[in-house]
Each structure stands twice: as C-alpha cells, then as structure tokens.
C-alpha cells in the first residue's frame, strides 16, 4: 500500500508518502521560529501555522515522491493525542483530500506512529518492548500489533522531553531543550550537582520527572543567589548532572521492563526506543548496554524518524488499513487518546 500521511499534533507540520517500508518522501516544516519568543509552543499560533502550511507540506511530499493523489491507496492522519487546534487542522485537511479524491481515510494515534516506527525502520516483528520517550510522553509498551499495546508503566507526572525543555529555559539555552542540553552536557561534570533518581526505590516501571525539574530550579537559584549569575561551566555541569539522572532512571526502569517482558518468553526478544528524547546519545548508549546485558536485540530509529514526522503516520496507517481500519467523515480530533490497555495480569495483583 502507498499512503499519504499527515501530522500536525504539536509544532511540526508534516506530510509524507510511504509505500511498504519505503519512505518515498518525508516533509517536516518546523515552527521553532514562530514560538521562540514565547519560550514554548503556543497552541493558537501552532494551529494557525498548521492550517497555513499543511497544504504546502502535502504538495511538497507528493512532488518529492514524484507521485500524485491517484497513485495513493489512502490518506492517514494523526487524529490525536495532541494540541487540539493542530490535530483538527490535520484532520480537516485529510478529510478534504479524501472527499475530493475518493481515497480511503484512516485516523492514526500519534503515539502508535512513534511505537510502530521500529517496524518501518528495522522491520521488527511483533511483539517487541518499546520505550516511548518524548516531549509529552514516557511509557513502556509491549507492542503486539498496530492496535494492540500493553502498557507496563510510565511517568506519573512530566515527560523527560518536557524536563529537558524546562531545563533549557531555566538555563537560558535555546528550544527545543533536548539537543541544547545534550550539547551543553558534553563539557560538564555530571557529579558536581546531586540530582535525585526518582522512584528507583519503588518496584515496577513507573517514572517521575517533576522532581528533577524542581532540583534543577533549586540548583540554579542557589548558584544565582551565591554568585549573581551562572558561569558557563555551571551550565555545563548542571546539564551533565541532569542528563545523567534521566539516563540512570530510564536505564534502570528499562532493565525492569525487560524482566517483565521476558516473563512472556518472546521467541526473539527485541527492544526499541522511540520518541524525540530517543535522539539523546548517552541515553541510547545506556539502553543499548542494558539490552546487551539482557540478551535482547536493541533498535533505535534514525533521529529524523524519532522526532515528529508524517512517515510514521503513513506507515502506521498502512498497517491499520491492512488490518481493516477505516475512518469516515465523522473522524474527530482527540486531545487525549491513551494507547494502552491495562497490563494488570503481567504486573501481578494489587495494581
């Protein structure tokens, strides 16, 4: 199947054409410049920009693929979760194209897009364990099919990407925070500041990141009060300490998630990390080591397919269509749309 995919759930306007596992084109029009002055994504500005740019993204994606709408087998669109105005802009656009062309329409969960990316990039077979770690989410999932996920645990408050972004804001580094904090941490001493390792003392795979944000704020405030500002080395050390704490917590919880997954005795145990934070080098290296120790195959999609894009939506749309999913003109935009069903049997009683 060859699908046109649309993605507009956050601050990237994206369109892509994917055929099987071939990404024929993937256009991502970012909005960083529009939001830069506000220190974060402004939903109203994002929605308007999506409405203006979707058209351009679609035209560009088809042109780069060298194909027309008549070559498509369907249209896949992110129908949530995300900023409602942006999701709505994408859904309206997709409905318009579907109505005009007569092509079938399929609504895709943005998180399923991230979760199925390792199948697109590495051809992973079901089932596999996935750590989905992004700007808005952090969860361990057993991916069993395009519409079958078991959630083993996840963050009880903030997502790590959000904590990276907040850290960058606190330290006056550019957004998105992940790449700037990672670059800054490169020359830093991760031991100088003591950051907590939240929830490691609790069993299971749940995570928490709000305490890390608070610890960052306190450490910064203490330095500013003592010396009137931050020195370049302070910034580097703070970033290094923060990044190390995030890495340690995610690595340990991954070890535990792998143990839970092993209880299912998968024939070829595989683990994948996806979502924007999966772009983080030290985190990838730590997760790779955890998997090696557990005898589990490790995969991480290339960076361009880790952050938001429409290729993952077009790919997930193909799998959903093949499984018989279709949407019609009633397709609605959902601000919240959890992927998971409960993993109570895997995790034992008491949950």
Structure tokens at 314: 């077009």
Distance between CA atoms of residues 218 and 291, nearest Å: 34
DSSP class of residue 287? H
Q: Which is nearer to ligand ATP, 136 or 241 (CB)?
A: 136
Q: Which of ligand ATP, Fe ion, none lies near 280, with the C-beta cut-off 5 to 8 A by kind?
A: ligand ATP
Per the annotation, does 50 bind a ligand?
no
Q: Is 114 annotated as a binding residue?
A: yes
Distance CA 9, CA 161 (A): 16
Tell me: does residue 154 bind ligand ATP (CB under 6 A): no
Using the rule CB under 6 A, which residue among 80, 90, 104, 177 binds ligand ATP? 177
Closer residue to ligand ATP (CB): 134 or 150: 134
d(CA 160, CA 155): 9
Sole binder of ligand ATP in the list 134, 139, 167, 254 (CB under 6 A): 134
Binds 301: which of ligand ATP, Fe ion, none (CB < 5-8 Å by kind): none
Q: Which residues contact 5 (CB under 8 A, 6 or more apart)?
A: 14, 15, 16, 17, 18, 75, 76, 77, 108, 310, 311, 312, 313, 314, 315, 317
Question: Is 134 labelled a binding residue?
Answer: yes
What strands, in cross-sheet order, belong to the sheet with 270-274?
Answer: 148-154, 138-145, 128-133, 270-274, 297-299
Sheet (strand 12-19) strand order: 22-30, 12-19, 2-7, 74-80, 105-109
C-alpha to C-alpha distance for 13 and 312, rounded to whole angstroms:
13
* Binding test (CB under 6 A) with ligand ATP, winner from 5, 276, 301, 317: 276
178 annotated to bind ligand: yes
Q: Map residues 79-108 to x or -, x wherever contact with ligand ATP holds by CB under 6 A.
A: ---x--------------------------
110 is in an annotated binding site: yes
Residue number, 23 or 339, with CB nearest to ligand ATP: 339
Q: Should residue 199 be labelled a site residue for ligand ATP when binding is judged by CB under 6 A?
A: no
Q: Which two tokens stand for residue 206?
A: 């749940």
Residue 122 labeled ligand binder: no
**Cα torsion angle, 243, 249, 252, 258, sign:** negative
What residues does 26 pair with on adjacent strands?
16
Q: Which residue number, 109 or 134, has a Cβ lying nearer to Fe ion?
A: 134
> Are 93 and 58 spatial neighbours (Cβ–Cβ below 8 Å)?
yes
3 annotated among ligand-binding-site residues? no
Burial class (CB in 10 A: 0-12, 13-18, 19+), 342: exposed
Interface residue with ligand ATP among 23, 105, 238, 277 (CB under 6 A) is: 277
Q: Which does 61 bind (CB under 5 to 8 A by kind): ligand ATP, Fe ion, none?
A: none
Per the structure block, which two tokens stand in for 182?
Answer: 């990672």
Q: How many residues does the chain have?
A: 351
Q: Is 13 in the site for ligand ATP (CB under 6 A)?
A: no
Out of 308, 314, 320, 337, the residue judged to bind Fe ion by CB under 5 A: 308
Is 122 or 182 the residue whose CB approaches ligand ATP more closely?
182
161 lies in the site for ligand ATP, by CB under 6 A:
yes
Scanning residues 261 to 280, which ones bind Fe ion (CB under 5 A)? none
Binding mask 126-145 for Fe ion (x = CB under 5 A): --------x-----------
Best CA proximity match to 288, nearest among 260, 250, 259, 261 = 250
Choosing among ligand ATP, Fe ion, none, which partner's interface includes residue 279 (Cβ < 5 to 8 Å by kind)? ligand ATP
Binding residues for Fe cation: 110, 114, 308
For binding to ligand ATP (CB under 6 A), which residues are involved?
A: 9-10, 82, 110, 114, 134-137, 161-162, 164-165, 176-179, 182, 275-277, 279-280, 307-308
């Amino acid at each position: 199947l060859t699908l046109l995919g649309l993605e507009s759930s956050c601050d990237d306007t994206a369109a892509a054409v994917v055929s099987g596992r071939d990404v024929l084109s993937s256009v991502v029009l970012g909005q960083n410049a529009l939001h830069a002055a506000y220190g974060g994504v402004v939903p109203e500005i994002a929605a308007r920009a999506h409405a203006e740019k979707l058209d351009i993204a679609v035209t560009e994606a088809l042109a780069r693929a060298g194909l027309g709408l008549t070559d498509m087998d369907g249209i896949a669109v992110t129908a949530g979760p995300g900023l409602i105005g942006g999701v709505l802009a994408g859904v309206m656009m997709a409905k318009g194209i579907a109505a005009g062309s007569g092509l079938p329409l399929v609504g895709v969960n943005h998180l399923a897009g991230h979760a199925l990316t390792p199948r697109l990039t590495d051809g992973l077979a079901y089932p596999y364990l996935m750590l989905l770690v992004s700007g808005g989410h952090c969860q361990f999932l057993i991916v069993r099919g395009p519409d079958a996920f078991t959630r083993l645990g996840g963050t009880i408050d903030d997502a790590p990407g959000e904590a990276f972004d907040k850290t960058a804001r606190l330290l006056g580094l550019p957004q998105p925070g992940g790449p700037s904090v990672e670059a800054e941490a490169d020359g830093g001493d991760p031991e100088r500041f003591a950051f907590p390792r939240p929830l490691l003392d609790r069993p299971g795979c749940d995570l928490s990141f709000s305490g890390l944000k608070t610890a960052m704020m306190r450490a910064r405030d203490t330095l500013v009060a003592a010396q009137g500002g931050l020195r370049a080395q302070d910034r580097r050390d703070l970033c290094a300490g923060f990044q190390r704490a995030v890495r340690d917590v995610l690595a340990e919880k991954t070890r535990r998630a792998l143990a839970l997954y092993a209880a299912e005795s998968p024939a070829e145990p595989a683990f994948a990390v996806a979502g924007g934070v999966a772009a983080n080098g030290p985190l990838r290296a730590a997760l790779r080591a955890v998997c090696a120790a557990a005898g589990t195959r490790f995969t991480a999609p290339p960076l361009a397919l880790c952050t938001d894009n429409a290729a993952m939506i077009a790919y997930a749309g193909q799998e959903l269509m093949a499984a018989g999913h279709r949407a019609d003109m009633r397709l609605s935009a959902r601000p919240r749309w959890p992927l998971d069903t409960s993993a109570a049997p895997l995790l034992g009683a008491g949950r």
